[in-house]
Amino acid sequence: MRIVSTASAFPPHYYSQEMLLAALQEYWGDQVQNPQVLRRLHKHVGVDGRFLSLPKEEYRKMKTWGEANGHWIRTAKDLGEKAISGALAGAGLHGRNLGAFFFVSVTGISSPSIDALLINKMGLCRSIRRTPIFGLGCVAGAVAISRAADYVRAYPDQTAVVLSVELCSLTLQREDVSMANLISAGLFGDGAAAVIVAGAECGFSEGPKILATRSVFYPDTEEMMGWDVSEKGFRIVLSREIPNLVRANLAHDLDDFLAERALTRADIGNWALHTGGPKILEATAEALGLKNGELDVSWQCLRRTGNLSSASVLVVLEEVMKNRRPAPGTLGLLAAMGPGFCAEFVLLEW
């Protein structure tokens, strides 16, 4: 099993963090009692700029969740098509070659789901197996790669596509000036990413092999991250305890996963980790003893596009594959964490 291609896609509207801060100060007005709090939060999230689905002035015009979700559907189709087309071109494949389609998102809903809409739009195979996944949040990109690996393990002569589309800006809540929403408004951006996973009998010799995967669930932590869903849409749930959960659990869970393959963290030469934000990346580095720039790609992607929820780890993977490919034989780890609370590990060999 191999990851043979990756591609990202972004909306045309890119704004610096300063421009977005000014727009949010106008958006919330007197609701934020201390404007310096918002400025301080934006300064410390480690983001230089972000892509938005719409021109920034359009967000003030939206009145309902249905309107925002309509924008989500239209933009998700456009970005999804671009990302998949880029990944297919990178693998030298046509859409009719795909045997399975794993679609993940947590920032909008559609029925039929976006994968079905793209099958029609792109003329994909009528017998393609569809698996739309909602609710896994930031961990979903890594989870979808694991599920795609399960599929091509069962069908080694087939390929699967993973698509993540996250349009976080369309979840912005005007009446919510909680600390969680102020942070998310400064941290999260919009974008999409696609990955092609191929079975062992497909004849590909390039791209990292998927050696093993592991899912980890942390009981009774559902209050850590997610959405409160109401008639106004998605209201962010984001606990300040997440970094402590990472410090307390990530290392021994990863060590158990690696030990089953007679490996340790010292054997991992490449790290593709979700860009959760400065506190999450710092907690991850502390927990895993990563002190020599191992997370530089994650930090770079965070600065460039912000946290893209489930698409983040796929964008990090793309950067590694296209610009920082390790030496052949290097072991790598792709990992993310998300609502549940849970973690996903994917062991790679480059």
pLDDT class of 180 with cuts at 50, 70, 90: confident
H or E segment to which residue 113 belongs: none
Question: CA-CA distance, 172 to 29, in Å (whole number)?
Answer: 15
Q: Is the pLDDT reported for residue 177 higher than 90?
A: no
| Phi and psi at residue 236, to the nearest 5° | -65, 140
What confidence tens digit (pLDDT) does each residue in 244-290 have?
Answer: 999 999 999 999 999 999 999 999 999 999 999 999 999 999 999 99
Cα–Cα–Cα angle for 270, 274, 278, rounded to 5 degrees: 105
Q: Is 219 left (phi over 0), alpha (psi -120 to 50) or beta?
A: beta
Using the structure block, give the residue that is written with the tokens 């698996």.
Answer: 131
Q: Is the pLDDT reported for residue 36 higher than 90?
A: no
Give pLDDT, residue 37. 80
Convert 147-164 to b/e letters by CB count within 10 Å (16 or more is b): bbbbbbeeeeebbbbbbb
Give pLDDT, residue 126. 93
What confidence tens digit (pLDDT) does each residue in 209-248 have?
Answer: 999 999 999 999 988 888 888 888 888 888 889 999 999 9
Report the share of the chain in percent with pLDDT over 70: 100
Give pLDDT, residue 228. 83
Q: Give this prediction's pTM.
A: 0.94
Give pLDDT, residue 176. 81
Give pLDDT, residue 287. 95
Q: Indicate the SS3 state at residue 348.
A: strand
What confidence tens digit (pLDDT) does each residue in 58-90 have?
Answer: 998 998 999 999 999 999 999 999 999 999 999
Q: Is the pLDDT reported for residue 318 higher than 80?
A: yes
What residues are labeled active site? 138
Residues 6+ apart with CB under 8 A from 149: 1, 197, 210, 213, 346
At 297, which amino acid appears? Answer: V
Give pLDDT, residue 41. 83
Question: CA-CA distance, 333 to 35, in Å (whole number)?
Answer: 40
Give pLDDT, residue 235. 84
Can you list the domains of the chain with their CATH numbers? 2-198 (3.40.47.10), 209-349 (3.40.47.10)
What confidence tens digit (pLDDT) does each residue in 94-133 have?
Answer: 999 999 999 999 999 999 999 999 999 999 999 999 999 9
H or E segment to which residue 130 belongs: strand 129-134
Give pLDDT, residue 46. 92
What is the edge-to-edge ordering of all strands in the sheet holding 342-349?
129-134, 98-105, 159-167, 190-198, 2-9, 209-217, 342-349, 331-338, 268-273
